[in-house]
Amino acid sequence: MKTIIGESVLDKLNGYLKDNSMYKLYIITDDIVNELYMNYLEKILKDFNLITYVLPSGEESKSIDNIMPIYDNLIENNIDRNTIILSFGGGVVGDVAGFVASTYKRGLKYIQIPTTLLAQVDSSLGGKVGIDYGGYKNIVGSFYFPEVVIIDISFLKTLGHKEVTCGLGEILKYGLIHDYSLFEFTRLNLKNIYKKDLNVILPIIKRSINIKQEIVSKDKYDIGLRKILNFGHTIGHSIESYYGFTKFNHGESIILGIMYESYIGKELGLIDEGYFDEIFTTLKNLVTPIRFSNEEINSLINIMKNDKKNINDNIGFILPVGKGKVNLYNNIEEQLIIKSLKGEWI
């Protein structure tokens, strides 16, 4: 999959589309990105035939109810298979636009233009597209790869604090699963990242993309190695879902998930106290950890038991086993999960 990355690289889209004779474009975005950047995108695409569909910003847009009107709109506008879908926004827009592209008329080509840190380092890559259903994240979806991903880091300048934290969750995860030096560099540069120092952010994004692409290329359809990308996600997804996808965004939930799952790793003796402290001290400054009540823990574990990543009803965990290394475990005792969520160690 082709990626174009750098500061102010969006104008390369024009040449890419012309080189590939792609003239009819259907842009899917959300109201915030539309307000901030649609004029800029339209200027770059002045030679093209454009239709734009604007979703309300937020996770609620990743629902059946909110995507049906997109199909209606595609039909009303006689959109055919020569039209390219342009996803212009964060992970929500990317997942929805990719899902619509993968399903409408059995598949339209699509291009990702991610505008959040999380989307630039994670959700725009790897081809996973989908929506939430019945209270479960991403339960309806498919694998569908974009033609090109254009990562223009200048979009990050307008991101809020919470959205930066969100992207950091996935970046720190890449470091912990595959490249300890990325974790170290990111940890030491947190202030600069929040200040949107693009000279610091660019190498971090490039390294993150390399890691994700390396892992995905070895396991496109998530049957083996790719599962390590789910570090922090077993507990993280349950927290995100328990609070109705509103209190914590995806990356914040993953940061919490990494804390509790690292604690499980430490208790099992997979990592030592020193490494656990390093992870915990770094992450607790980004999202405040929670001591869950028994009732909350019951609900969280029920959500985990229904996780689509489980095999044979065992809750699957990716756990740290050393600096920048993780492994998959399927038989973690429930008591240990409960102990970690109780958080008496916090």
Which of positions 34-53 make contact with ligand NAD (CB under 6 A)? Answer: 36
Question: What is the C-alpha separation between 111 and 293, in angstroms, rounded?
Answer: 44
Which one among 45, 57, 173, 236 touches ligand NAD, defined by CB under 6 A? 57
Question: What is the C-alpha separation between 54 and 50, in angstroms, rounded?
Answer: 13
| Least separation in angstroms between CB 249 and ligand NAD | 6
Question: What is the C-alpha separation between 81 and 106, in angstroms, rounded?
Answer: 9
Which one among 155, 242, 263, 329 touches ligand NAD, defined by CB under 6 A? 155
Question: Measuring CA to CA, which residue among 255, 212, 218 is closest to residue 233?
Answer: 255
Which one among 6, 7, 38, 58 touches ligand NAD, defined by CB under 6 A? 58
Helix (H) or strand (E) holding 4: strand 2-6
Burial (CB count <10 Å: 0-12, 13-18, 19+), residue 119: buried
Structure-block tokens of residue 158: 């307008």
95 interacts with ligand NAD by CB under 6 A: yes
User: How many residues lie near ligand NAD (CB under 6 A)?
Assistant: 31
| Least separation in angstroms between CB 77 and ligand NAD | 24
Angle at 163 between CA 342 and CA 221, to 5 degrees: 80
Nearer to ligand NAD by Cβ, of 126 and 232: the residue is 126
HSE-up (13 A, CA, CB side) for residue 227: 17
Question: What is the C-alpha separation between 43 and 116, in angstroms, rounded?
Answer: 21
| Least separation in angstroms between CB 342 and ligand NAD | 27
Q: Rounded to 5 degrees, what are φ and ψ at 189? A: -110, 20
Question: What is the C-alpha separation between 243 and 305, in angstroms, rounded?
Answer: 17
316 interacts with ligand NAD by CB under 6 A: no
- Segment contacting ligand NAD (CB under 6 A): 88-96, 195-203, 218-226, 331-339? 88-96
The Cα-based distances of 121 to 34, 91, 288, 302 in angstroms read 21, 10, 23, 30
| Least separation in angstroms between CB 157 and ligand NAD | 8
- Segment contacting ligand NAD (CB under 6 A): 119-127, 144-152, 275-283, 284-292? 119-127
59 interacts with ligand NAD by CB under 6 A: yes
Asked if residue 58 lies in contact with residue 92, where contact means CB atoms within 8 angstroms, the answer is yes
92 interacts with ligand NAD by CB under 6 A: yes
Which one among 84, 93, 148, 211 touches ligand NAD, defined by CB under 6 A? 93
228 interacts with ligand NAD by CB under 6 A: no
Nearer to ligand NAD by Cβ, of 83 and 249: the residue is 249
Q: Which residues bind ligand NAD (CB under 6 A)?
A: 30, 32-33, 36, 57-59, 62, 89-93, 95, 115-116, 118-119, 122-123, 126, 128, 137-138, 155, 158-159, 163, 166, 249-250
